[in-house]
Amino acid sequence: MTTLDDSIQVVHQRLEAARIRAERAQGSVRLLAVSKTRTADEVRAAHAAGLRAFGENYVQEGLDKIAALADLRNDLEWHLIGPLQSNKTRVVAEGFDWVHSVDRLRTAERLSAQRPPDLPPLQVCLQVNISGEASKSGASPAELPALARAVAALPRLRLRGLMAIPAPAEGLEAQREPHRALRELLERLRADGLALDTLSMGMSDDLEAAILEGATLVRIGTAIFGSRPALQAPTRSLTGVAG
């Protein structure tokens, strides 16, 4: 039976093989463990196995785990990678270290205003709808330059880069195409003077393609924890809205 340690080792091996193939520097790709639907005990076990950064899709579920693992707070990095509703920006600004899913200026302004002054700046990525899917959140490539400049100017935030969830594709070359497009958008923003260093892209099925195209954070859930358990009834948030 495959253990959590075995799965993490296999993922690290895949990351390293892709990094070497891409001729990128050691340490240039970070692993973000997607802990959506996983218990606090599973996150604790993953921490014991060496992982430090965890991504959550649902605000209240993530906040519950942050509270349950308060004894590890200084050794864990919590990333919100799912959609963010405007009525949840305060608790996210107060509880998380990163937000990958900013796709409009109003959300960024609320996060900036609500980030406590005693905490470091909130690290944010702009989510881009790189495949143009109607079902996906994210700014369009055309909207991105103006949005990036406006978010980069906000206090209490640090704009780090871009995030995308491309449409599924078969084969390495087809998978590389949307990741390449996101990298090119980042390069254009950097050429315009924005100091960006993060490409949050790549998941269990396409991490190699993402790393070959410059991913710096790959979001891996299934390959670490196995198939997700059956979905439970949505957790109710602090505001009474399903998270």
Q: What does the pLDDT read at residue 227?
A: 85
The stretch 133-138 carries a mean pLDDT of: 88
Q: Which of the two residues, 230 and 172, has the higher pLDDT score?
A: 172
> b/e string for 187-214 if b means 16 or more Cβ within 10 A?
eebeeeebebebbbbbbbebbbbbbbbb
Mean pLDDT lowest for which of 88-97, 129-138, 179-188?
Answer: 129-138
Q: Is the pLDDT of residue 233 over 90?
A: no
> b/e string for 148-181 if b means 16 or more Cβ within 10 A?
beebbebebbebbbbbbbbeebeeeeebbebbbb
Amino acid identity of residue 222, one-letter, is T
The stretch 206-223 carries a mean pLDDT of: 98
The stretch 226-239 carries a mean pLDDT of: 54
- pLDDT tens for residues 98-111? 999 999 999 999 99
Q: Is the pLDDT of residue 214 over 70?
A: yes
Q: What does the pLDDT read at residue 134?
A: 84
Q: Is the pLDDT of residue 40 over 90?
A: yes
Q: What are phi and psi of 152, to 5 degrees?
A: -60, -25
Whether 72 contacts 41, CB under 8 Å: no
Euclidean distance between CA atoms 189 and 43, whole angstroms: 35
Euclidean distance between CA atoms 208 and 236, whole angstroms: 36
- pLDDT tens for residues 166-198? 999 999 999 999 999 999 999 999 999 999 999
Euclidean distance between CA atoms 168 and 81, whole angstroms: 18
Map tokens 């944010």 to a residue: 124
Q: Is the pLDDT of residue 161 over 80?
A: yes
- Write down all domains in the chain, each with its CATH number in brackets: 4-18+28-225 (3.20.20.10)
Euclidean distance between CA atoms 20 and 85, whole angstroms: 39
135 DSSP assignment: T
Euclidean distance between CA atoms 135 and 62, whole angstroms: 23
Whether 14 contacts 172, CB under 8 Å: no
| Stated pTM of the model | 0.92
> b/e string for 12-23 if b means 16 or more Cβ within 10 A?
eebbeebbeebe
What average pLDDT does the structure give for the chain?
A: 93
Q: What does the pLDDT read at residue 231?
A: 52
Q: Is the pLDDT of residue 23 over 60?
A: yes
Whether 171 contacts 188, CB under 8 Å: no
Q: Is the pLDDT of residue 94 over 80?
A: yes
CB atoms within 10 A of CB 96: 25
Q: What does the pLDDT read at residue 65?
A: 98
Residue 56 belongs to what H/E stretch? strand 53-56
Whether 137 contacts 99, CB under 8 Å: no
Q: What does the pLDDT read at residue 235?
A: 44
